[in-house]
Chains A and B, each alone.
Chain A
Amino acid sequence: MKQRFSRRLVLRGLGGLGIGLPLLQFQNALAATPQVAKRFIVFFEHGGTLSNNAGDKKYSGNGAENGVDAWAPSTFGEALDPGPIHQPLAAHTDSLLLLRGIDNKAGRRQGSYGGNHYTANCTAMTAADVTPFDLSGKFENGDLRSKGRSLDQELADRLNIRHPVRIPCVSLGIWGHNYGTPFYRKSLEQLWGEESPSKAWTSTLSGVTPSGSQPDPAVLRAQALKKSVLDGTGESLKLFQNRLSSQDRQTVEAHLEHIRSLELRLSKESVPLSAVCNPPKNSGLTDGAAYPAYGNAQVDIMLAALRCGLTNVCTLNIGDMLTTFLNPLYRTDLGHSLDHAAREVGKTGTEANRYNDWYQTMLDNRKWRMSLLARFLDGLKATPEGDGTMLDNSVILWTSEFSFGANHSSADVPVLLAGKGGGAFRTGRHIDFNTEAAANPATLKYKTNKSTHNLFTSILNAFGYPDTHFGNAMADYQGPLPGLG
């Protein structure tokens, strides 16, 4: 790892505070770092996983303290032995790095109950400070916004300088109940992924033709007119800005930036497409489509965007239950989310007779989520790049705002990395940062000083950026996570 930082840039401690700094600083980093990750992908699942973490301890799985850890590996050695939820990924075990015992310390420190919904979501990908959001007064009590940007956006901007693309980040989503996006374009500015595959296709792949074929003149004409519309809208916004108070000017500034970003996409139509570009046809599916086809369509768009060289960064925001996936019987009766039923339907809970059904429903849903990652890994692995495949040069992060959703626990959050990150990560392994687990891997005791701050720093390092920190000041441990390489 050390030689990756042979060329020192004056970047120490900037981390997630890169907002507003001239990104040119990152431009030359690549020259000194031939072997680094090229693309970053986030799969974010809302509502946590099947975990037994309760903050400072783990539940035994009995009675009112029921909780079952289906996220854990089947055995606790360093060689990864996929557990129940990770079964759909079994064929990719060699490409995975399962990290346990990592807290979202920013979420735990700022939220009641060790990380309530809004705090947990705001901090999950930002590790930042949060602030109340009630400007319009129409939000439920407790809604918050992050004061920092999320890791994906930081990397999207940095990588776009190193390797300019048409779309700095392709942000997609799968509709479902949630308490706010974890993704932030910048302070206070939420970023919501497109949840309709049809619209996502139009936005990302429209006009992209398989490599070698000629562009359609009708498409070129439409693009020219579209450019005129964007130009005119941008001019209107600029004129409008002059008439506003400074607070309102900020609102319009964001609007103007988005117009510029759309203009940029149009202006980069001439970026040469990668030789392996073979985009899918528009599935025509909307955000109300049935889950398997719906999710797969979104994954395929992400894959195409990466293969065609349209982007360096993709995010997929997967909504929680209260969706079409769920057996209607669970939709309101077992609390407002299936996760919350975890304690009560437990083996000796008040509705113990529903335990097996509940567990299977949860497991099926979480495994379905994993099948999306499996499909994505299949795709990257089938795409040659250099001496290997695209997967070798990618970092895929799977995470959530909670470990055990029923308890709103932001401790021990799910962290699954995939891809070698250009050589930064040694995969096929399982590392548990729970210090209590050293003596007994199956312990119900829980203690860690590692945080998502450290994880995000490690990821930045994998891309050759020598940051020593990402996020706010709430980390107990400084620097990247040890032992990933």
Chain B
Amino acid sequence: MKRFLLTTGAFLAVGCSGALTAPSGDGTVPLGEGPVTLAACQKAPITAAAAQLRRLSSEQELNSVRDLLADPAAAPAYVSHSGGIITEREVEGMALAAQELISRKGHVRYAPCKTDGAHDLACAEGFIRAFGKAAFRRPVEESEVEVLLTTYKKARDTAGVSPAVTFSESLGVVAQVILQSPSHVYVVERGVPDDSLPESVRKLDGFERASRLSYLFWNTTPDAALLSAAESGALDTPEGMRAAASRLLDDPRAQQALRRFASRWLELDGTQKHDALEGVPKEATRFPQDSATLRQAMREELVSLYAYSFGQPGDAFQTLMTSSRAYVNKSLAGLYGVKNGPTSDTQFQWVDLNKDQRSGLFTRAGFLALQASNEFSSPIRRGVFLYRNVLCESLDNPPPTVDDTPIKPGVTGGPMTVRALTHERTRGASCVGCHDRVNPLGYTLENFDALGAWKSGDVVKDGSQDVTLPVDVTATVDAGDLQATLAGGNALAARLGQSQRARDCHVSKWFEQAFDRKPVREEACSVLKVQEQFRADGDLRSLLLTLASSDAALYIGEAQP
């Protein structure tokens, strides 16, 4: 299984017809090698990623057990810390978490009898089938019932303890086993054969599709309605999937998926390179208005703008990139200079920002403050983010020998603007290759200081004096399909709103969240089709519905032997 590059847009390249091979019996033409194009996709047979076992993330695990046990306050101390093969510490953590969860008795609602009485084998079996179905996200197979019933009996018959193990304790043991069962902990997709599909492709069954939808939109285990839909065959068609996806998206729980997407995409929870938005330090003397409350408001504003744009009919992406609407409390309104805004920090309301200064997501304080240093704005950090996360352009890391001290005019360089010092520090021959692409994007945002407030000049030290040097926000941008001289953040925002590369990139980012990995070559056509639609309509809701009913969501390849 080859991974194809979404980051470079290489698969969008035209003129690859030579890669097509001869039509097969059913009139389809396999994709062959080389870049994948939409034209080739129209004629290509259905392909799908090879099946691979996937473990629920800690967040998915937590949401799932809370829902399974109808216990929203449950907070088992289990953390998955490694993306690879499960570690002993994780297995032990799971065991402790299961013990803790079951002690809260949420599982007893699955028992068809009173659980504080005498041992009852039939009731134990009923419990296994009911709780097992909910936890495994599909009916329990007979061989599994057998193993779990044996577990029940062994617990019941434990030797050497007095008094004897109770019915309730035995069910607790079974429930703990169910919560640690691979059928719960891992997402298994085997699919079913279908005559209309190529030999190597299988159709995901209704329950497997239900899990995909549920973890995509709610990041939790399927609810009863979704499992019923799976059982009834309602998810067997793309239309049925779209309808089910639509129901899930209309549920308030889908807001969590949007918030989670925005937080990850915007790196609000931190990366290897920087702390979370609430943790990045700012120099107090320079930014007396900074506070923990302000940081929380910044996060709230960004994710709210994402959710707001998502709900807009029509070109939601354009709205996201260019809207001047903002959800603010008193502190944030103060930073933005909004008059007649909220009068307290606990009160948030939608306001219109000064359209001459701020349009779109990337003119907002949360982004601007996160991608800045302690004292000064950082065209490099802002540019790198836009280049990588918004345009999906690839960029190597700088070598470790590079001088990566922050740009501090008057301190780590002469009394000049941030932009001038940035230019001076990155004009070396080994730097310009990347920085000529990255820096100009950041230069257009030089009207915003390290906390995200509007600035018209840089205040820098000249000897013992503070001097104010006017900023220059006009830059010639050469990044992806942004090839223009742009004057300021609004000009950048307008271009991003129209950028096909930014739209393609956004689809890729959603794919990564939905499938918890990058797409593989067999999924290229699904991605391209969603991208084609999103380029044209910019409709975020439609993006998700199309993704949820795409071949990538409906089918699975044979597992690699």
Residues of chain A at the chain B interface (Cβ within 8 Å): 64, 113, 116, 133-142, 145, 171, 177, 179, 185, 188-194, 196, 199, 202-203, 220-221, 224-226, 228-233, 235-237, 239-240, 243-248, 250-252, 254-255, 258-259, 261-262, 322, 328-329, 331-336, 340-341, 343-345, 349-351, 406-408
The reply to whether A243 and B190 form a contact with Cβ atoms under 8 Å apart is yes
| Residues from chain A with Cβ under 8 Å of B512 in the complex | 137-138
Decide if the interface of chain B is mainly helix, strand, loop or mixed.
loop
Tell me the minimal C-beta distance from B311 to chain A in angstroms: 28
Q: Given A138-B512, A235-B147, A239-B144, answer yes or no on A341-B405 (Cβ-Cβ < 8 Å).
A: yes
The reply to whether A407 and B401 form a contact with Cβ atoms under 8 Å apart is yes
| Residues from chain B with Cβ under 8 Å of A247 in the complex | 52, 559-560
The reply to whether B158 and A225 form a contact with Cβ atoms under 8 Å apart is yes
Partner of B165, one of A139, A225, A239: A225
The reply to whether B84 and A190 form a contact with Cβ atoms under 8 Å apart is yes
| Residues from chain B with Cβ under 8 Å of A137 in the complex | 3, 512, 517-518
List 17 additional contacts besides A190-B87, A406-B400; criterion CB under 8 Å.
A134-B3, A136-B517, A138-B516, A185-B88, A190-B84, A203-B89, A225-B169, A228-B158, A230-B95, A232-B173, A232-B176, A248-B52, A251-B53, A252-B53, A262-B88, A341-B405, A350-B405
The reply to whether B161 and A224 form a contact with Cβ atoms under 8 Å apart is yes
Looking at B83, B89, B518, which has the most chain A CB atoms within 10 Å of its CB?
B89
**Contact residue range for chain B?**
35 or more
Tell me the minimal C-beta distance from A201 to chain B in angstroms: 12
| 5 interchain residue pairs of minimum CB distance | A232-B151, A245-B559, A137-B518, A232-B177, A258-B91
The reply to whether B88 and A258 form a contact with Cβ atoms under 8 Å apart is yes
Looking at B51, B155, B283, B373, which has the most chain A CB atoms within 10 Å of its CB?
B155
| Residues from chain B with Cβ under 8 Å of A350 in the complex | 403, 405, 411-413
Segment among B178-186, B229-237, B451-459 that sits at the interface with chain A: B178-186
| Residues from chain B with Cβ under 8 Å of A329 in the complex | 281, 283, 374
Instruction: Report if B312 contacts A (CB, 8 A).
Output: no
| Residues from chain A with Cβ under 8 Å of B463 in the complex | none
Looking at B158, B161, B182, B374, which has the most chain A CB atoms within 10 Å of its CB?
B182
Instruction: Report if B428 contacts A (CB, 8 A).
Output: no
Partner of B98, one of A134, A229, A331: A229
The reply to whether A233 and B165 form a contact with Cβ atoms under 8 Å apart is no
Complex: chain A residue closest to B53, CB-CB: A248
Partner of B405, one of A236, A243, A248, A351: A351
| Residues from chain A with Cβ under 8 Å of B411 in the complex | 350-351
Tell me the minimal C-beta distance from B369 to chain A in angstroms: 11
The reply to whether B51 and A245 form a contact with Cβ atoms under 8 Å apart is yes
Tell me the minimal C-beta distance from A153 to chain B in angstroms: 11
Docked complex Cα distance between A75 and B148 (Å): 67
Q: Which of B118-152 contact A (CB under 8 A)?
A: 143-144, 147-148, 150-151
Docked complex Cα distance between A467 and B514 (Å): 49
Tell me the minimal C-beta distance from A132 to chain B in angstroms: 11
Q: Could you show 5 A-B contacts with beta carbons less than 8 Å apart?
A: A137-B3, A232-B174, A259-B91, A329-B283, A343-B403
Complex: chain B residue closest to A189, CB-CB: B85
The reply to whether A231 and B405 form a contact with Cβ atoms under 8 Å apart is no
Tell me the minimal C-beta distance from A298 to chain B in angstroms: 14
| Residues from chain A with Cβ under 8 Å of B279 in the complex | 331
The reply to whether B275 and A322 form a contact with Cβ atoms under 8 Å apart is yes
Docked complex Cα distance between A116 and B561 (Å): 34
Q: Given A225-B165, A236-B144, A239-B144, answer yes or no on A258-B87 (Cβ-Cβ < 8 Å).
A: yes
Looking at A137, A203, A334, A335, which has the most chain B CB atoms within 10 Å of its CB?
A137
The reply to whether A331 and B275 form a contact with Cβ atoms under 8 Å apart is yes
| Residues from chain A with Cβ under 8 Å of B85 in the complex | 188-190, 250-251, 254
Partner of B154, one of A231, A240, A406: A231
| Residues from chain A with Cβ under 8 Å of B174 in the complex | 232
Docked complex Cα distance between A410 and B280 (Å): 30
Instruction: Report if B406 contacts A (CB, 8 A).
Output: yes
Complex: chain A residue closest to B170, CB-CB: A228
The reply to whether B148 and A232 form a contact with Cβ atoms under 8 Å apart is yes
Docked complex Cα distance between A243 and B311 (Å): 42
Complex: chain A residue closest to B154, CB-CB: A228
Tell me the minimal C-beta distance from A206 to chain B in angstroms: 10
Instruction: Report if B18 contacts A (CB, 8 A).
Output: no
B253-291 vs A, Cβ < 8 Å mask (1 yes, 0 no): 000000000000000000011110001110100000000
| Residues from chain A with Cβ under 8 Å of B155 in the complex | 225, 228, 232
Tell me the minimal C-beta distance from B234 to chain A in angstroms: 26
The reply to whether A233 and B180 form a contact with Cβ atoms under 8 Å apart is yes
Partner of B91, one of A113, A116, A245, A262: A262
Instruction: Report if B82 contacts A (CB, 8 A).
Output: yes
The reply to whether A239 and B3 form a contact with Cβ atoms under 8 Å apart is no
The reply to whether A240 and B181 form a contact with Cβ atoms under 8 Å apart is yes
The reply to whether A255 and B406 form a contact with Cβ atoms under 8 Å apart is no
Complex: chain B residue closest to A336, CB-CB: B273
Tell me the minimal C-beta distance from B425 to chain A in angstroms: 10
| Residues from chain A with Cβ under 8 Å of B252 in the complex | none
| Residues from chain B with Cβ under 8 Å of A220 in the complex | 160-161
Complex: chain A residue closest to B370, CB-CB: A332
Tell me the minimal C-beta distance from A343 to chain B in angstroms: 7
Docked complex Cα distance between A194 and B78 (Å): 12
The reply to whether B89 and A194 form a contact with Cβ atoms under 8 Å apart is yes
| Residues from chain B with Cβ under 8 Å of A351 in the complex | 405, 408, 411-412
| Residues from chain A with Cβ under 8 Å of B53 in the complex | 244, 248, 251-252
